[in-house]
Structures are given as C-alpha cells and as structure tokens.
C-alpha cells in the first residue's frame, strides 16, 4: 500500500512517452539522385557532403535532426522513377512528396494526380517570387503552383582548354574563342581536328536519345521557332529545323565528333582527352572540377564550362528543372504542417544543392558570396533568366524527347534523309499526342 503513490508518476511517464511517439508525424519522401547510404546515411553536416546523392541525403538527414517531431521515411528510386510512382498512384499508396522533372509535371497535373501547393507555400512563408524566372516558369500550371523548385539545369559545353589552346582557339590574353554562327562552329571544329588530330566534340550517340533533342530545342528557340504553337501538335518540317540537322550531320560526316559512345563512355572519354568539348549537363561540373585538380588527368588545370554558344539570332536556352511535388491523397493537418516545414527547409538550403552543379532555384542564392565563389558559376548565371522549356501544355515530354532523338539520330547518321526523318518525327509525336 505504501508503494502505490510511487506508481502514478511512472505510469504517467510511460503514457507521456507513448503519447509522444504516437504524435510523431511521418513524412514519406520518394526521390531519385542515387543511393549512397554507406557514405552519407547518417551525415547531418551538409557542408561535408559532395555530389547529388551526398548532398540530398545529408539535407534530408539534417531536416530530420532539426525536426525530431517528424519521422522522415525515404524511398530512393532508380532514375527517373515515374513507372514506380504511377504504380503507387494506381494502388493508392503514393508517397507524401516526390521528386519530379518540371517537364513531367503537366502529365500528372492534367490528370489531377498531384496537388497545387500554393497554400502550403504560404504556410511555409515561401513566395513564388522567391524563385528565379526559369524555376517559377517550370512549376506554374494553369495559374497554380504544382512544385517546390529544387533547381534549374541545362546542357553545357564542358571544355578541355589544353586541347583548345593546341588548336589555336584560345587568344593570347587567355580568352576562349567560341563560335557565333553554325559556319563558325564548323570552321573551329575543322581547325581543332587539323591541329590535334582529335574530334572537336565528344557526344553521347549510343543508347541515348535526349542529347540531340536538347540541343535541337535550344537552337530552335534561338531561331524563334514556335514549333509547339499548339501544345497538342508539333511542327518540325521547317527550314529552321533543317538548319540544325544539316549542321549536326556535317559534324558527323566530317568526323568532327566522337562516335559510338554511350553516356559513361563519353564522360570518361572527355576526361581522357578524346576530344575538345563534351556536350552534357551542368550536374557534371563538380566531378570535372575535382578531376581538373588531378595532376594525372588530361584536363588538369585545363577545364571550364559554358552554356551552349549562341549560333542564331537570340540567346534562349533549353532548360528543365527538378521539383518536389505532392501526390494527390488525403492528409491530416499534422502532415500538411510537416510538409510546409520541409518546403521551408529546402528553400532555405537551396545554396547547398547548388554545389552539385545545378543552378539555384532561389533568387537570393545567385548573389551569395559563397555561391559566386563556386567554380564556373558566374559564367552560368544568365541561364536562370534566359532559360526556357517547352510550353506548359505540352504533355509526354519524355516520350517526345525519345521520338525526336531517335529520328534526329537517324538523319545525322544517314539512315534516313533529313526531310524524311523530320516528317516521321512530326507524325509519330502528333500521333502519340492525339491519342492521350
């Protein structure tokens, strides 16, 4: 009987602990960017992380550490993960938040499979005006915001300066000479090959359909081609399209590019000095910067990166981006509050993600001294204002990219005449879009 009063605090303590655990809100995040738990699975110091996977993993770890009331469950999917997401949606078990390309958002938004996040952004104290023009354009659909922008990405010229100097394409004052017209590009490529015995360009031409398409988009934009004036119907049979394919075919026919390289082969080929310029995305900036400090590397102290050079009348660039989107499912207030906290955290830590090589989505990062000190970033700042994607109403952009890339490759390699390839690309894309 004397011990009875002592039991009450113990019971209350147990009940409080159990109540605390029950109150913990779970947030299920699903993302791509790779898996690296062995190296970064417990790291919460984002400054010590490198690369897409390391920085994203560490950011989420830091968010968890700063929000002990939120249990974060992370599922990492093989890039890009949309088949898995679609299956989860069909079985009514989607995650709470998922990474998505801006070019894909319309596919899910148009079928109401993801939700607008305007109210949650307001709850998080995040405004659309906080983001760069390119980032904002990528996530607004029919006047509502459907994603929390993570970044903007584009394709770059990754340049071997040692070979460019050998080719006489670096001036006496150290300025790289870039082409300003298709004719200048061909002239420089021939000059490069004659001087070095190597191809000017290192391209991904095997098991890859997107590289040609992204280049094609940029140079169609530069010629003010409104090839998707109707988002449901592409128009590709034009002199502007032929200008680009003729240029690519001439580069291929004159052996001014590497051939038969897939993605990894082209990346290693560039670092091995197989050619002067690799055409690939800004996500490789960090890796090549590290390689450029390796005395044994062919790009030792000889690496720089710039956006695709302007060859036609305007300076538009094709860009895409990554965002966090919210699948359509029921949520309670606690989960919505946790999501708003996550949005706030990701916006406030946008600089850390910019270290991957992706361009910031948040305007204020563009003027941060830490960001401006990162290698090559100042030469890429304009991408955040002049970058543009396909019109927001264009659906199945990944499929469009694949079809167009296949037909462009057929034209460039001579499998099909250029006009036939453009006509077939137009027919296949429009047939697909007409049957959605």
Q: Residue 284 maps to which CATH number?
A: 3.40.190.10
CA distances from 266 to 24, 29, 149, 274, 424 (A): 47, 33, 29, 9, 28
Closest to 72 in 3D by CA, of 89, 93, 57: 57
* CA–CA separation, 379 and 387 (whole Å): 14
Q: Is residue 143 domain-shared with residue 47, that is, in the same domain?
A: yes
Which residues share a beta bridge with 257? 201
Name the pairing type of β-strands 148-149 and 322-325.
antiparallel
Measured between its terminal Cα atoms, the distance across the chain in Å is 76
Alpha helices in 48-207 (DSSP H): 51-66, 82-90, 102-109, 118-124, 133-139, 161-166, 182-196
Q: Last residue of a domain, which of 382, 402, 425? A: 382
pTM of the model: 0.90
- Below-50 pLDDT ranges, the chain: 1-21
Query: Does any domain span residue 297?
Result: yes
Q: From the DSSP assignment, how many helices (H) and strands (E) are in the chain?
A: 19, 14
Structure token digits, residue 366? 């563009």
* CA–CA separation, 246 and 157 (whole Å): 20
Q: Is residue 430 domain-shared with residue 368, that is, in the same domain?
A: no
What is the model's pLDDT at position 172? 87
Query: Does any domain span residue 51?
Result: yes
Closest to 148 in 3D by CA, of 298, 29, 22: 29
Kindly write down the DSSP assignment for every residue of 197-266, as one continuous string: SS-SEE---SS--HHHHHHHHHHHHHTT--TTSBTTB----SHHHHHHHHHHHHHHHTT-B--S--HHHH
Q: Is residue 428 domain-shared with residue 338, that is, in the same domain?
A: no
What is the model's pLDDT at position 19? 43
276 contacts 192 by C-beta, under 8 angstroms: yes
Asked if residue 80 has a cis previous peptide bond (ω within 30° of 0), the answer is yes
Q: Is residue 285 domain-shared with residue 363, that is, in the same domain?
A: no
What's the domain range around 110? 25-153+320-382
Which residues share a beta bridge with 42? none
Q: Is residue 147 domain-shared with residue 160, that is, in the same domain?
A: no
What is the model's pLDDT at position 207? 86
Q: Report DSSP state, residue 275.
A: S
What is the model's pLDDT at position 10? 41
Q: Report DSSP state, residue 314.
A: S
Question: Domain count of the chain?
Answer: 2
376 contacts 305 by C-beta, under 8 angstroms: yes
Structure token digits, residue 404? 């167009």
Residue 1: CB atoms within 10 A of its CB come to 4
392 contacts 106 by C-beta, under 8 angstroms: yes
Q: Is residue 146 domain-shared with residue 184, that is, in the same domain?
A: no
pLDDT digits 0-9 by tens, 245-271: 999 999 999 999 999 899 999 999 999
Determine the longest span between alpha carbons in the chain, in angstroms: 100
CA distances from 18 to 13, 24, 144 (A): 9, 10, 40
* CA–CA separation, 357 and 374 (whole Å): 9
Q: Is residue 304 domain-shared with residue 196, that is, in the same domain?
A: yes
Alpha carbon of residue 413 to chain centroid: 28
């Amino acid at each position: 009987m004397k011990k009875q009063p002592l039991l009450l605090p113990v019971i209350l303590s147990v009940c409080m602990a159990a109540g605390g655990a029950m109150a913990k809100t779970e947030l299920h995040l699903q993302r791509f960017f790779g898996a690296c738990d062995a190296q970064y699975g417990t790291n919460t110091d984002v400054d010590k992380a490198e690369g897409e996977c390391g920085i994203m993993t560490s950011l989420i770890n830091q968010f968890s550490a700063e929000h002990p009331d939120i249990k974060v469950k992370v599922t990492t999917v093989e890039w890009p993960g949309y088949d898995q997401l679609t299956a989860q949606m069909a079985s009514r078990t989607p995650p709470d938040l998922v990474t998505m390309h801006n070019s894909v958002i319309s596919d899910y938004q148009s079928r109401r499979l993801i939700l607008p996040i305007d109210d949650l952004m307001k709850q998080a104290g995040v405004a659309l005006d906080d983001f760069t023009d390119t980032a904002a354009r990528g996530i607004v659909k029919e006047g509502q915001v459907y994603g929390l922008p993570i970044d903007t990405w584009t394709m770059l010229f990754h340049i071997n300066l040692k070979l460019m100097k050998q080719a006489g394409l670096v001036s006496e004052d150290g300025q790289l000479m870039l082409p300003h017209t298709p004719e200048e590009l061909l002239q420089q490529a021939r000059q490069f090959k004659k001087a070095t015995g190597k191809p000017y360009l290192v391209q991904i031409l095997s098991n890859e359909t997107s590289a040609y398409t992204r280049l094609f988009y940029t140079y169609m934009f530069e010629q003010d081609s409104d090839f998707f004036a109707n988002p449901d119907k592409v128009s590709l049979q034009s002199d502007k399209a032929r200008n680009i394919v003729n240029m690519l075919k001439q580069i291929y026919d004159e052996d001014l590019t590497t051939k038969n390289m897939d993605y990894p082969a082209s990346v290693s080929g560039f670092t091995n000095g197989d050619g002067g310029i690799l055409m690939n995305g800004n996500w490789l900036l960090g890796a090549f910067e590290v390689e450029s400090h390796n005395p044994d590397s062919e790009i030792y102290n000889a690496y720089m990166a710039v956006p695709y050079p302007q060859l036609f009348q305007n300076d538009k660039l094709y860009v895409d981006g990554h965002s966090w989107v919210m699948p359509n499912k029921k949520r309670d207030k606690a989960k919505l509050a946790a999501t708003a906290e996550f949005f706030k955290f990701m916006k406030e830590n946008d600089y850390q993600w910019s270290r991957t090589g992706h361009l910031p989505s948040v305007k204020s990062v563009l003027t941060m001294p830490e960001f401006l000190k990162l290698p090559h970033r100042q030469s890429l700042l304009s991408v955040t204002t002049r970058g543009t994607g396909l019109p927001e109403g264009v659906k199945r952009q990944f499929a469009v990219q694949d079809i167009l890339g296949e037909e462009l490759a057929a034209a460039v390699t001579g499998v099909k005449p250029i006009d036939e390839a453009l006509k077939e690309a137009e027919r296949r894309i429009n047939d697909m879009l007409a049957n959605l």
